[in-house]
A and B are shown apart, each in its own frame.
Chain A
Amino acid sequence: MRQYFTNIIDAIVTTAIGFGVTFRHLFVRSVTLQYPDERWDMPERSRMRLNMDWEDCIGCFKCARACPVDCIHITTTKVPRDFDQLGETKNGTQKRLLVEQFDIDMSECMYCALCVYPCPEDCLYMTPEYEFSVYDRDELIYDFSPVPEQLKEEAYAAIEEEKRAKEEARREKQAAREAKKAREAQQAKESGEPEEENPDDSEDEEE
């Protein structure tokens, strides 16, 4: 019988305590973060989406080599030594290669940041951007090489120019050599030594 009344008292007291707890929590500041409207600040050095400044890239391939999953794809073209329109990086290095393609496949990236450290120009870095889901996997391949069309044309023109100049120089050289040989042969003929002419000629033909 005594237990019965103890139970009743217990029930009333514990019910009151329970009601008290929930009522207090009614006025506790809620911990909800209204996600798309507000976000947590990401920690410093957090590793998320890679970004790259094309202007500062010298095309050294160090990042591509460091990448454990080979998700960085680079194509470069060498420009003539006197072509200075590629400019300098922010570290003051003269760019020698036209970086035509710099793709990072973020669907393969594993966020190790191993590519970030070898970069001599500090142009590859992790951004705090972490919301980049897409509908198609191909959209995760980020193209960081917006080569200006004019620069590209000029660079190709310069390359062509250099090639043509080289070719010309080679031809001139050859022409000069042939001319020299022809002259020598002429001189030999004029000096009146016909016996020696034949072996000379055959030698030329063999060349």
Chain B
Amino acid sequence: MQGLIEFFHGIGVASDFWAAALSILLYTLFVFGFIAIFVLIAVYLERKVSGHMQDRLGPMRVGYHGILQTLADTLKLLLKEDIIPAAADRLLFILAPFVLFLGTFMVYVVLPFGPGAIGADLNIGLFYIVAVSSLVVIGIIMAGYSSNNKWSLYGGMRAAAQIVSYEIPVGLSLLVGVMMTSTLSIVQMVQMQETGIGGVGGILGWNFIQNPFAFIAFFIYLVAGTAEANRTPFDLPEAESELVAGAFTEYSGMRWAFFFLAEYANMWIVAIVASIVFLGGWHSPFPGETFIPGTIWLFAKAFGIVFVQMWARWTFPRLRVDQLMVTCWKYLTPIAFFNIIGVGLWLVTIG
């Protein structure tokens, strides 16, 4: 971001205000484009992964091995009629997708795309992510309530219960990483993971391998993060087989596409945050290796986690509501608390 501002100063934009404004605009457009392209790739990947896991081929007809399938689907979505139900609460109905998308989009302010490529390195970056992504639940409840449809309302209620519950294990497991690096800033957190046990770099410097508690916390974050993103073993808010499409039942065309974008953008957030807090961010797993740029490592790690999320989606059936709550409150939350105590003791005594 600072680099962008300097670039605008360099090409003759004298005023600080305009340089900052132009940088913000450019960066926003970049992030939006990134999300759109990521969704294109992720949806294609998702369909291919699901196909091959079920011994099918997935999309094959549009382009080479169906590469242009998502593009065609996007085109179809853009051309679809935009319907607002007569009995819907019009204002909330129109606002809901944007509120939801805003919640995910705002997180990208502190989400890095590589060393130095970050919107703003806030000193409370991680806290900001956890706080802002809570906006998502408001968007889903708005969508569910304003649709004036019982399925949507059920979906909204479930989303509220689920996301509010799972925020606790998410926050607590991220706290383990924060305790180990003693910072909330994304960039510093990654820098702290450069070297680890005995001053050796590479994979040994990453947080999740430093102590057993961080290792457990990593998996708790993966599970809870998947639940936060409403991905399949935890996709109760939109459970197709029970609630038609849950909170998004009444949406069509571009409005629905925004929900879709938000879901995949959320996946990416979960993946990036997991790779930053636990997997060493943009550091290479091999000590002393500087040949491959950090961006590629970061993206590789994030895509690995995205793949694991897809893998889980096509492996496990949807949880029941009571199972969902039991998993969160009786297992993940206590274990996460135990982790905090454990990692505190570990840091005081050993590390």
Contacts and interface: CB of A to CB of B under 8 A. Distances in A.
Interface string A22-63: 110111111110100000000000000000000000000000
Contacts of B56: 30-32
Nearest to A28: B55
Interface in B273-312: 311-312
B331 A25 contact: no
A134 interface: no
A15 B315 CA distance: 9
A7 B54 CA distance: 28
Given A8-B331, A34-B60, A25 B53 contact: yes
A32 B57 contact: yes
Contacts of B311: 19, 22-23
B53 A18 contact: no
A21 B330 CA distance: 28
B331 A18 contact: no
B169 to A, nearest CB: 14
A47 to B, nearest CB: 30
Contacts of B57: 30, 32, 34
Contacts of B54: 25
Contacts of B335: 8
A25 B60 contact: no
A30 B48 CA distance: 12
Contacts of A21: 315
Given A8-B331, A19-B311, A26 B316 contact: no
Q: How large is the interface on B (under 10, 10 to 19, 20 to 34, 35 or more residues)?
A: 10 to 19
B256 interface: no
B88 interface: no
A14 to B, nearest CB: 9
B53 A26 contact: yes
Contacts of A32: 55-57, 60
B13 interface: no
A25 B49 CA distance: 10
B8 interface: no
A30 B315 contact: no
A26 B57 CA distance: 10
Nearest to B310: A22
A9 to B, nearest CB: 12
B53 A22 contact: yes
A47 B260 CA distance: 48
A89 B49 CA distance: 59
Interface in B28-66: 49, 51-57, 60
A22 B315 CA distance: 6
Given A8-B331, A26-B49, A31 B55 contact: yes
Contact of A25 (B52, B312, B316, B330): B52
A62 to B, nearest CB: 46
B127 interface: no
Contacts of A23: 311
A32 B58 CA distance: 9
A14 B57 CA distance: 27
A100 B52 CA distance: 56
B234 to A, nearest CB: 14
A18 B51 contact: no
29 contacts: A4-B330, A8-B331, A8-B335, A15-B316, A18-B315, A18-B316, A19-B311, A19-B315, A22-B53, A22-B311, A22-B314, A22-B315, A23-B311, A25-B52, A25-B53, A25-B54, A25-B55, A26-B49, A26-B53, A27-B52, A29-B55, A30-B52, A30-B56, A30-B57, A31-B55, A32-B55, A32-B56, A32-B57, A34-B60
Given A25-B54, A31-B55, A32-B57, 19 more contacts: A4-B330, A8-B335, A19-B311, A19-B312, A23-B311, A25-B52, A25-B53, A25-B55, A26-B49, A27-B52, A29-B55, A30-B51, A30-B52, A30-B56, A30-B57, A31-B56, A32-B56, A34-B57, A34-B60
Q: What are the 7 tightest A-B residue pairs by CB atom distance, in nearest-first order?
A: A22-B315, A32-B57, A18-B315, A22-B53, A30-B57, A30-B55, A32-B56
